[in-house]
Structure 1
Amino acid sequence: MMSTHVVRHVSECFVKPHCPGQESNQICNLTPWDIAMLSVHYIQKGLLFKKPPTTLVDQHDFIENLLEKLKHSLSLTLFHFYPLAGRLVTQKTQDPPSYAVLVDCNNNSDGARFIYATLDMTISDIISPIDVPPIVHSLFDHHKAVNHDGHTMPLLSIQVTQLVDAVFIGCSMNHVIGDGTSYWNFFNTWSEIFQAQAEGHEYDVPISHNPIHNRWFPELYGPLINLPFKNHDEFISRFESPKLRERIFHFSAESIAKLKAKANKECNTTKISSFQSLSALVWRSITRARSVPQEQRTSCKLATDNRSRMEPPLPKEYFGNSLHAVSGEATTRELLENGLGWAAWKLHLAVANHNASAVLDFLKEWLESPFIYQIGGFFDPYCVMMGSSPRFNMYGNEFGMGKAVAVRSGYANKFDGKVTSYPGHEGGGSIDLEVCLSPDTMSALESDDEFMSAVC
């Protein structure tokens, strides 16, 4: 029986940076890391908060006050993250021929979109079902938008949805502007400013991690990247995901510690990390659930931050994309006949070998022959793609309602085999994995003894 619940948009406005500085009138050049993201979806992540009890606050006054405080603190946050209030622009010339995509940070743009919506559902309706309910996708703006749409659509959109007993704050950020590290630095700063505002700091709020907008380019290249295209139709595609089931699997710190100890013992080493061990379990289990032919090559890709790998390293406050996917590969036979440690060691080597030299080699190849990532290109029936990171500070964000009860994501960038990593709600090294699989594969995974014995 299909749900009749719908998200109703009540109001919409645009928020601009408070007291925009001179920098916000500039053009922001994009790096190869940024430009390659033009055809993938926006980043869509959000937090579910429990509303104060009706016995303590008037619900109408509560939501009105919350919305005003969110908008004001967002304006203050955009002062620091001013590219998010801009728009993408394409500059073309005929003689000599050139094609470049940039960010126009000029405050003549509308700014970031802010939507208030309502939904007649409860926290339990969202987090209790075995599968993530499809209505969650409607808690985000920019549904199915690709980053190139940032030429005409806001680069940042906030949707605040009031539920019966909760508030969901969903954020859609253009992936050309930044990666997950940048996304959560923005979100964390917004929370920090909101809380400082609640303590009486009206405008001049110091922040812990000032974003660095000076984008990094390889030596002898940039700051303007000329693309070998004449029209965006040559590199933009619209990916429609197949029918998927989405489910959150929880792994306690103790369960992950056991996986790590097992993997390292099997390889007689101490170098394999907790996340590499967990990823190896996921790779083996999903491959088994898919009934992949024995000699078929499979892979497990890990989204990896390049910042710490550069020489000298880029600061963690670097605002932009600095992301790469490293890969472990094996035939099904190799993967399943060998143990957890064998697969985890494959992933460990992929991460360990991803150094500054490897990053520069990739960039050099890209600059010689630029390409744009296509979501369909990640949709490999024998691949597992591990995205996001349990290290991101998600549950540290507070907006006057205490700690969030759950993290959820939108439709964006999902396909069969996409796994998104979140810190577990209780912290302490626990991890939640949001797994997207075809219905048949998900059913087989739910019957996989090795996998389910590690789920808590």
Structure 2
Amino acid sequence: MNPPTVVYISECFVKPQSTLEEAKQPVYLAPWDLAMLSVHYIQKGLLFHKPPSSDNQENPVEALLEKLKDSLSLTLDHFYPLAGRLVTQKQEEPPSYTVVINCNTSPGARFIHATLHSTISDILSPTYVPLVVQSFFDHDRAINHDGHTMSLLTIQVTELIDGIFIGCSINHAVADGSSFWHFFNAWSEIYKAKGDGSLSISRPPIHKPWFPDGYGPIINLPFTHHDQFISRHEAPPLRERIFHISSDSLAKLKAKANAECSTNKISSLQALSALIWRCVTRLRRFQLDQKTSCRLAINNRSRLDPPLSNDYFGNSIQTVRGIATAGELRDHGLGWAAWLLHQAVVNQTDKTVREWLKTWLETPLIYQLGQFFDPCSIMMGSSPRFDMYGNEFGLGKAVAIRSGYANKFDGKVTLYPGLEGGNSMDLEVCLPPNLMSAIESDEEFTEFVSLSSPMH
């Protein structure tokens, strides 16, 4: 018997409610944005209980869909670049190649209604995240450059037997994780204003792209055709599992790492990343002289001097990493590995960020997904600090967070806040089947990390 599949019911495009003067001009992309042109969209979404039917409302889902569209239109007044499309502007003399966002001729953001004959339990109960979850998102396997012809934002509402999944797919050349959840939070805020037409939100986004002094807003890329910087990477067969670490376990892990280094400077995230790095490296059974790394996605907004606002909309991220051989990770403790990661974070200063930007502007580099797939490393992405469970659309609190196919590879770990709050976290771990089986029975890993999330 074939497993249930997602069926599309309808789709439309949603435009900003107002025609803004600033949306008539090209939206320029900063270096951090342009570097993302060859990686996947961001795909994250929330699973809710389905609204109950009532006597005076035959189909509550239809009412929900209309309210979601109306509030999305209002939200796009603030986040108007998400309603646009990418455009490449070429010129032969003098030669130039520039990618910008054009909001004038775009049909808007895409909105999809789909159904799946499955329950919430069918999604959350299996040990490994079911593959059908990837179908809860638009732009499957699309890269950001595809935003020339595809929507920069798609909302897909998938109706389950007893649940609603709201999946959001945003072009990663337009927004990073901070901006993704900034948009999502604002959409929820406007929805909860009960459609009173209010355009005010608590955190208006800042759309002016940031460049070092003397650069921008136009960046001439050293290409004549997108084939020169675009590649498509297919992940190897992976298992994806959600692990959980409670506030208490995280506190113990942090205390252990700090005690081993006679310090109090190692953060919870650095200690957790070091634990996963050590465990995965050991289970991969490398030669002791094999160089390995743990990469952390890092937000540059607060590291610039003066700092960028947290409301800066776009990309302001890079990766930093700790590097060690498999033998060094084996012979040293958790604290030693965590301290390497702490130093990598501390060293990401205003000077470091500006030096990277200067080098990039002299020789622009477009990230390739294949570069991130390093079988000797792990990569920690997203952040448990993002407000994910605060998003409500008249459906109460979400029961789970899930993501799509995008940007996954052997050793990718995505961090979410735990459902119960506090400092708890959920870890979305992607590993090959044999390695996943090994980590599930690894004593060091399971001492701190639970094999199951709290009951939803």
Q: TM-score, normalised by structure 2?
A: 0.97
- Number of the residue aligned with 1:45: 44
Letter in 2 for 1:411: Y
Distance 1:404 1:23, change over 3 A: same
Deviation track 1:380-413 (CA, whole Å, cap 9, x = no partner) reads 1111000000000000000001000000000000
Give matches, 1:357-368, under 5 Å: 357-368=351-362
Deviation of the 1:59 alpha carbon: 7.9
- Number of the residue aligned with 1:220: 214
> Is 1:150 the counterpart of 2:180 in the alignment?
no
Letter in 2 for 1:137: Q
Give matches, 1:214-363, under 5 Å: 214-363=208-357
Return the alpha-carbon distance in structure 2 between the equivalents of residues 97 and 186 of structure 1.
36
Distance 1:266 1:76, change over 3 A: same
Partner residue of 1:373 out of 367, 376, 401? 367
- Number of the residue aligned with 1:36: 35
Letter in 1 for 2:63: N
Deviation of the 1:52 alpha carbon: 3.0
- Number of the residue aligned with 1:87: 85
Identity between Structure 1 and Structure 2 (%): 64
Q: Which runs of 5+ in 2 are unaligned?
A: 451-456
- 439-448 vs 391-400, which moves further: 439-448
Q: Which runs of 5+ in 1 are unaligned?
A: none
Would you say the 8 A contact 2:51–2:61 is kept in 1? no
The root-mean-square deviation of aligned C-alpha atoms, in Å, is 1.1
Letter in 1 for 2:191: F
- Number of the residue aligned with 2:174: 177
Partner residue of 2:60 out of 59, 62, 78? 62
Would you say the 8 A contact 1:289–1:442 is kept in 2? no
Distance 1:405 1:34, change over 3 A: same
Would you say the 8 A contact 2:296–2:379 is kept in 1? yes
Secondary structure of 1:453's counterpart equals helix
Distance 1:234 1:189, change over 3 A: same
Which structure 1 residue ranges, 4+ long, deviate > 6 Å from structure 2? none
Return the alpha-carbon distance in structure 2 between the equivalents of residues 68 and 422 of structure 1.
29
Would you say the 8 A contact 1:196–1:205 is kept in 2? no
Would you say the 8 A contact 2:52–2:60 is kept in 1? no
Aligned pairs, number: 450
Secondary structure of 2:390's counterpart equals coil
Return the alpha-carbon distance in structure 2 between the equivalents of residues 236 and 324 of structure 1.
19
Return the alpha-carbon distance in structure 2 between the equivalents of residues 225 and 284 of structure 1.
41
Secondary structure of 1:100's counterpart equals strand
- Number of the residue aligned with 1:7: 6
Distance 1:168 1:58, change over 3 A: farther
Return the alpha-carbon distance in structure 2 between the equivalents of residues 52 and 90 of structure 1.
44
Deviation of the 1:60 alpha carbon: 4.8
- Number of the residue aligned with 1:403: 397
Return the alpha-carbon distance in structure 2 between the equivalents of residues 302 and 65 of structure 1.
41
> Is 1:23 the counterpart of 2:22 in the alignment?
yes
Return the alpha-carbon distance in structure 1 between the equivalents of residues 199 and 97 of structure 2.
40
Letter in 1 for 2:114: A
Letter in 2 for 1:352: V
